Amino acid sequence: LDVFRAIKNRNGIEVLYGLDILENGEKRRFPLKDVLSPIIGYVGNKDDGKYTRPVGKKGLERAYEKHIISKINGYTKAKRDVVGALIHDKNTIIRPREDGLDLHLNIPLALQRRMELMIDKMKQNIDAEEILLGVMDSKTGKVLSMATTRRYNPAHIRQQDISAMVIKGSEYPYEAGSVLKPLTLAIALDHKRVTPNTWFNTGYHKFQIGKKRFISDDDFFESQNAIDIIVHSSNIGISQIAWKLTGEEYRKGLLKFGIAKHSGIDLSRDLPGSLKPLRLLNNKMHRANSSYGYGMTVTFAQLMKAYSAFNNDGVAVTPRLVDYLQDVKGKHYTLDPKVGDIKAVNKKAAREVHDILLEVVKRGTGVKAQYPGLEVGGKTGTAHIAEHGHYIREYHSSFYGFANDNKGHKYTIGVLVIRAKKYHKYFASQSAVPTFRRALDILVELDYLEPEGGIARSPDIVVPQVPEIDVSTPTIDTEIQDKVVPVRPVTPAPKTNTTLPKFPTPTKKLYKKPTPKPSKHQGFEDLF
């Protein structure tokens, strides 16, 4: 460009000087904008006066900061010749740079983005404050998707994004409601206090659990066995099942599921939730109250882990977002989780609850999760939100369960809807369950599940008119339950044996992530 002019040094040699490039810092780029937020986290800046580098403040950025940060700058120390070139000899010192490691996630971007866009539409449909969705391999704990409708661009954080920076999946303890009932039953089955066909008297319009405490069921049945107590989500029935256990047995059983413990998910913050102390759980009222998910708090990640036990022979697996770390030479490194997998219940109890959850989808509050050719099970929960020491007429609606095919693919899936505002959409059966079903559509379309008979898309869901019900603010031990329409109360004969249907055991194969067929799927670039 003939910009710089050569000059002669004192030895008479012409030297052409240019510009020096001085590095004064690093900057993190987020080319996919809000994708994977808030899981991916965000960074701040650390400035020592000479150099500025990014520092992880939340999410994966913070959890893995010490592994991904650059370690040492490279340099070469040598003499120069008369024209300024380096002289490489035995006195030359070369120090290669040490870069940080790359994170390789278990989450495929195309799947994650499809899930994010889907729950965005569901959020508008039911007018919810937020929807959380998670998909996890039931055998390995690998998280294939963890999405929320409250996302932000980590590169351009605005004032209105501050509340969205909280990772609700691991930092939002809440009273979950009826999704705790399968755990209560599993503990009783594990201790052999009940069987699936143990009958209980549930023919009470008001059932007393304390001096001034009464609970009720939305659907009236004179008596129900343990199967139907879960299928029809009976507060009265599950309270009696909890009473078959001592306070100590029940509390230890919940702890074995990971309740009130860190889930072990590899994020910067993993709250444990809370559980009543033993002195309270020794009281029948408090034990009944906890049996249907009130008076205790859990996180989304905890319930994903707990429900994986029902799809994995009683072993609850730890959710894992990161698959491995890789250095510049391509070498892979894996880190052991801070909290390992746990044996929640014995295999027999886990399989019995597994089959009962199939019944919930077959004929209970989860019927809208059905997918022909897949084994789908789960449990709904609709619980009042507590604010300032009392319950308000706003709800957490959730559905946790699983979906399996006969090829060996087994996934634990969870949906949490926060504050759905449309009329009757706060029932989990009208919000969380349809969201779960649409997640199955995406998993099938992208070949993560292979149903017998091929793809069966979700029908347009038309919510029938539901009769007026009393939605008055409950006491601490009242549970809002999902309606099954129509309800057909029956009084089974006391000696009738109800057996669970037998499902074929899938052929065990090594899990191999399927390769999506380009001709079937939308291009990834079209999702942005």
Residue boundaries of the structural domains of the chain: 109-527
Q: What does residue 119 show for φ and ψ, rounded to 5 degrees?
A: -70, -25
Q: Give 335's contacts (C-beta < 8 A, 6+ positions apart).
A: 266, 322, 325
pLDDT digits (tens, 9 = 90+) for 31-50: 999 999 999 999 998 888 88
Question: Could you give the count of Cα atoms lying within 13 Å of 456 in the half-sphere of its Cβ?
Answer: 12
pLDDT tens for each residue of 329-344:
999 999 988 899 999 9
Which residues, listed in sequence order, are joined to residue 131 by a DSSP beta bridge? 417
Classify residue 430 by its DSSP letter: G
Is 425 in contact with 393 (CB distance < 8 Å)? Answer: no
Which tens digits make up the pLDDT trace of 351-397? 999 999 999 999 999 999 999 999 999 999 999 999 988 999 999 99
CATH class of 109-527: alpha beta
* Mean pLDDT, the chain, integer: 86
Indicate the pTM of the whole model.
0.82
- DSSP-derived letter for residue 259 is T
Q: Tell me the pLDDT tens digit for each residue of 509-527.
A: 444 444 544 444 444 444 4
CB within 8 A of 73, min separation 6: which ones? 97
DSSP string, 348-390: HHHHHHHHHHHHHHHHSTTGGG--TTSEEEEEEEEEEEEETTE
Strands (E), 184-302: 199-201, 207-208, 214-215, 223-225
Mean pLDDT (10-residue bins), the chain, 528 residues: 70 70 81 96 88 91 93 84 84 87 96 98 97 98 98 94 95 97 98 98 91 88 97 97 98 98 96 97 96 96 98 98 94 91 97 98 97 98 92 96 97 98 91 98 97 74 37 42 42 42 43 45 45
Cis? peptide before 173, omega within 30° of 0:
no
Cα–Cα distance for residue pair 138/144, rounded to 1 Å = 11
Residue with tokens 């697996």: 317
DSSP label at residue 481? -
Distance CA 453, CA 140 (A): 27
* Span between the terminal Cα atoms of the chain, in Å: 41
Nearest one of 182, 196, 224 to 352, comparing CA atoms? 196
CB 104 within 8 Å of CB 133: no
